[in-house]
Amino acid sequence: MPRLIGERIILREYKKEDLYSIRKWVNDDEITRFLSDNFIYPHTLNDTEKFLNSMLESTTDARGFVIAKKDTEEYIGQIDLIKIDWLNGIGILGIVIGNKEYLSKGYGTEAIKLMEHFAFNNLNLHKLELEVREFNGRAIHCYKKCGFKEEGRIRENFYADGKYTDTLFMGILKREFEENFIEMHP
């Protein structure tokens, strides 16, 4: 698998040693409350090992990268194409910054931009999609900064912190990515 190199990070392959870094966040409500309902119940060590092994052995539809510091390759988080619809050229994006030390410092933005470049130029995808909870303002800001646009929402379909919230669906087309890239690199 190729490594994607940015200014401060690299997107690299998953390694067995990442297990301990992943374990630090999979049961941390401050991180997982923004993710899918896969995190309603505590994750066991076996659950985490099973996920990591599936990424190491490519036994799932998901394909992705660990977000790591460029100089040390230390795990920061992960960014994955959870599913790719090859017929229609659509990838569903998932990202988590699991190390709280790196939240709100632009690492997610850098990782998404690297993944966009990879998805559109290397995989020749037409579109990237994602879903995000309405209360996750930090992520929504990041996605918009990376060129994603809100395409729709499902009202009050996610229960968190004693109330229902909307789920937003966002996407970016290859041509929008190319337009943004040209504006940023004249």
Give the pLDDT score at 33.
73
Q: Please, what's the largest Cα pairwise distance for the chain?
A: 49
Contact present, 64 and 128 (Cβ < 8 Å): no
Band (pLDDT 50/70/90 cuts) for residue 160 is confident
- Percent of the chain predicted with pLDDT > 90: 62
Which pLDDT belongs to residue 126? 98
- Give me the half-sphere count of Cα atoms (radius 13 Å) on the Cβ side of residue 30: 8
Please give the single-letter amino acid code of residue 80: D
Q: Which residues contact 119 (CB under 8 A, 6 or more apart)?
A: 81, 91, 93, 125, 128
Domain extent at residue 52: 4-184
Residue 92 has pLDDT above 60, yes or no: yes
pLDDT above 90 for 132: yes
Give the C-alpha separation, 136 to 125, whole Å. Answer: 26
pLDDT higher than threshold 60 for residue 1: no
CA distances from 138 to 69, 110, 119 (A): 21, 14, 23
Give the pLDDT confidence score for residue 68 in this predicted structure. 96
CA distance 54 to 31: 22
CB atoms < 10 A from the CB of 155, how many? 9
Window from 40-49, 95-104, 124-133, 164-173 with minimum mean pLDDT: 40-49
Domain count for the chain, please give it.
1
Q: What is the CATH number of the domain that holds 174?
A: 3.40.630.30
What is the value of pTM for the model shown?
0.89
